Structure 1
Amino acid sequence: MNDFIHFIKKPKYSESCKKINWKIFFLLLFVLFLLSLALGPVTRILIYVCGFNNAVPTFILPKKILLIIVLAPIVEELFFRLLLIFKKRNLYIYLLCCTLLGIWYSINGSDTKLVLIVAIAIACIIAITYYDQCKLAIVKRYGFFFYFIAVVFGLVHISNFDGITFHNFIFTPFIVLPQLMMGVIFGYIRVTYGIAYSILFHAMVNIPFVLSLL
């Protein structure tokens, strides 16, 4: 755990992933489970007091299992964690992901999300064009970049709720506090052990939620 604590104090850029340490992997999984368990009642109270409603679409159980344990971890890890190791190859994969998501949103009529994906894809093309300059800036300010991605990952989950107003918006970061913590731990797993292990970790984090639906 010392390596994890040292990393979150001052994230450092590295392109060399370590061999997986299953002891640390499952220990972090257990720590995250305990933190989520502790924060669960607080977030539920805030959701009730602020008048938020669950806006997640309802699916039949097999689709929920596929979405939560398979698709969500793959899509979210590629989208939020892949570029924590900033390589041209990863930028091309990221651009491909944006293209596929753009096609999906255009078919399903989600105009706001489509515009956002197009903007991100354009930023990705700019990053490919000015790769050396972008990489230098990210490596120099890697701590900011790492935590920016973690915060964005957490805040994106605000879209899981309806009933957000100007008056209760200030409480939304507390509602997604578990996801903010997940963003940090997922990021550490990705940078330290590789994207495949962050996808696996993400999937395992989602398993208790699926079990609660059975």
Structure 2
Amino acid sequence: MKTPYLFMGAPPFTPPPSIVDTMRHLWSFALHPKQVQREHNVLEVKLPLIFQILLIQLVVLTLLLVLLSLVYKTIGFQLQHLGEAWTYLEGKPFVLLFITLILLAPIQEEIVFRLPLLYSGGFVLTALAVFAFHYGPVLATAAGLALPQALLLLAVLIGAVLLFIKKPVWRENLRKLWQYHFGLVFYFFTLLFALMHLLNYRNVDFPAYLLPMLVLPQLVGGIFLGYTRLRLGLGWSIVQHMFNNALILFLIYGYLASN
């Protein structure tokens, strides 16, 4: 007679990695991105690991922001110079910002920039569709395109991707790109994630050669989010992204309240 499931022995305990091991893995991953072993044990591994990643990320980004603030102070740059991004935050109620920046934006951005890190034709198409919906209007406005031109360009782009994925040879080449050149794929999506945040700083009175400094935190944060997505899963990277945005929003509101 088969032993009932409830009376079977529990699976062996899986100890969580130490924070030192996690730091080493993150550093190695940042230098040479590759597919990592997916964790499945939530209580014993995933929960301790996400807290470790958040702590390491918080320390790294804090040091980076302190360094950037020193540079900004040296060149006389202040947060109020951030143009439309600053005006947007100042003119919106907190509840609306909470919904858009903490709840919706992380879901959309993780689908676009982290979902396709694991190759799948469906993942790529989903990411493209959300990208078009989320960034299309802003990109069209920034490029000065009229609505018919933007829709035509979008249709051509989607058609090209569908054709590419439908062709077995092209689909296989795309799969090999993910398999053998994953570092390029990873940093393409991570760099694109950072660069898209430049749209928040339109009409900024800031030297063009220093603009990359504005999105350097997003680039570094994108590495952490990508690692979380691959090792823990997309849902965990969404939660991490929500935490990041919430922390930034609360810091900005604290700054506004003190000035």
Alignment TM class, shorter chain as reference: 0.7 to 0.9
Instruction: Name stretches of at least 5 consecutive residues in structure 2 with no aligned partner.
Output: 1-21, 255-259
Distance in 2 separating the partners of 1:25 and 1:197: 8
Question: Which residue does 1:171 correspond to in 2?
Answer: 210
Higher RCO, Cα 8 Å, sep 6+: 1
Question: Which residue does 1:54 correspond to in 2?
Answer: 83
Question: Which residue does 1:4 correspond to in 2?
Answer: 26
- Within the alignment, does 1:82 sit opposite 2:104 as a pair? no
- Within the alignment, does 1:142 sit opposite 2:212 as a pair? no
Map Cα deviations across residues 160-194 of structure 1 (whole Å, 9 max, x no partner).
Answer: 224457x8222122222111101111111111111
- Within the alignment, does 1:125 sit opposite 2:162 as a pair? yes
Give SS of 2:127's match.
Answer: helix
Question: Which residue does 1:182 correspond to in 2?
Answer: 221
The number of aligned residues is 210
> In the superposition, relative to structure 1, how do residues 30 and 13 fare at CA in structure 2: closer, same or farther (>3 Å)?
closer
Distance in 2 separating the partners of 1:55 and 1:121: 30
Give SS of 1:55's match.
Answer: helix
Give SS of 1:205's match.
Answer: helix
Over the matched positions of the two proteins, sequence identity in percent amounts to 22
Distance in 1 separating the partners of 2:132 and 2:116: 16
- Within the alignment, does 1:26 sit opposite 2:51 as a pair? yes
Q: CA RMSD in A?
A: 3.2
Is the Cα–Cα contact under 8 Å of residues 18 and 193 in structure 1 kept in the other structure? Answer: yes
Shift of 1:45: 5.1
> In the superposition, relative to structure 1, how do residues 169 and 50 fare at CA in structure 2: closer, same or farther (>3 Å)?
farther
What's the TM-score, normalizing by structure 1? Answer: 0.81
Give SS of 2:92's match.
Answer: coil
Which is worse superposed, 178-187 or 20-29?
A: 20-29
Instruction: Name stretches of at least 5 consecutive residues in structure 1 with no aligned partner.
Output: none
Amino acid at match of 1:18: E
Shift of 1:123: 5.4
What's the TM-score, normalizing by structure 2? Answer: 0.68
> In the superposition, relative to structure 1, how do residues 175 and 45 fare at CA in structure 2: closer, same or farther (>3 Å)?
farther
Is the Cα–Cα contact under 8 Å of residues 151 and 180 in structure 1 kept in the other structure? Answer: yes
- Within the alignment, does 1:153 sit opposite 2:153 as a pair? no
> In the superposition, relative to structure 1, how do residues 33 and 135 fare at CA in structure 2: closer, same or farther (>3 Å)?
same
Map Cα deviations across residues 33-78 of structure 1 (whole Å, 9 max, x no partner).
Answer: 2222222244345556375423222422111011111111001111
Distance in 1 separating the partners of 2:192 and 2:84: 19
- Within the alignment, does 1:211 sit opposite 2:244 as a pair? no
> In the superposition, relative to structure 1, how do residues 65 and 120 fare at CA in structure 2: closer, same or farther (>3 Å)?
farther
Question: Which residue does 2:130 correspond to in 1?
Answer: 97
> In the superposition, relative to structure 1, how do residues 126 and 60 fare at CA in structure 2: closer, same or farther (>3 Å)?
farther
Give SS of 2:248's match.
Answer: helix
Structure with higher Rg: it is 2
Which is worse superposed, 73-82 or 136-145?
A: 136-145
